[in-house]
Amino acid sequence: MSSPVLAGLERLIYIDITNILSLLGALYLWLTFITFSLVSRRYSKTFKEKTHWQFLVLFPLGLLLYITVQAYDYGFGGGVTPTVRLISYLLMPISGFFVLIATEKFADLNERLNTRESKKSQLKLNYFLILVPAFVVLLMLILGIWVGTPLLTTLAYMGFIFLAMALLRYSLIVRSWVMKMKKPMITWQLLFIGVISIIVAVIFHMVGYSQSIPYMDSNLATYYWSFNCRTIAFSFLAIGGILASIGGWLFYEMKLLKKY
């Protein structure tokens, strides 16, 4: 196979099957948000009022454990067994599932603050939604530097944190935004752009692995070019996930408006 994309696909399928699981895990995080947002309002009521804090904490903990396993794997040239690597990949969608529950509960909490409490209390909540993900980003950077992971890989993983922060923020403004819309066609446009971005992410992911070489190889330019491609892939994946998530949420809001 002469094409870099085809060569990357061949490597993904025949050489490193766990990387497919990693990519699917990230895709599953976005799909989880779109589908879970359709039913979470019903089931989130079954949890106690204080559980949204615990759910939010589970996401950065799962993400940090995932990064730790990946850092060890890269730092020691594949020293992690395939089973441990697979478990680390599964942590991403699982922890994402928990943060979605927290997102719904925070959105409901924000609505109550708008009606029952002062703007000062609402401002404290907004600061919390910004500072907590920012603290996790800082902690992740320190961890990445401490264990010796490449900077580009660390930046790639930051996309997941920023996506989580964006989901929390968007969940608080979409409900008021959608009520002001006259034409819901933007829903389909966002979904389309999101899907295209995810496809672009898959292509860059393949190109990145087609160019990758052993960790201890002296050709560092080629090695870091591989990480560049994968960093771009994660960025497009985050963009596509955000847009598709907003589109999915808007679609659900429009169905509610028609129903009631």
Q: What are phi and psi of 191, to 5 degrees?
A: -65, -40
CA-to-CA dists, residue 69 to 73, 102, 149, 254, angstroms: 6, 25, 11, 42
Model-wide pTM > 0.75: no
SS percent in the chain: helix, strand, coil, step 5:
85, 0, 15
Number of Cβ atoms within 10 Å of the Cβ of 68? 15
pLDDT tens string, the chain, 260 residues long: the values are 456 556 555 554 444 444 444 454 445 444 444 444 444 444 445 444 444 555 555 555 655 666 666 656 555 555 555 556 555 555 554 555 555 555 555 555 555 555 554 555 555 555 555 555 555 555 555 554 444 444 444 444 544 554 554 454 555 455 555 555 555 545 566 666 666 766 776 677 666 666 554 444 455 555 556 666 666 666 566 566 556 656 655 665 555 555 44
Structure tokens of 109?
A: 């909490």
Instruction: Tell me the residue type at 81.
Output: T
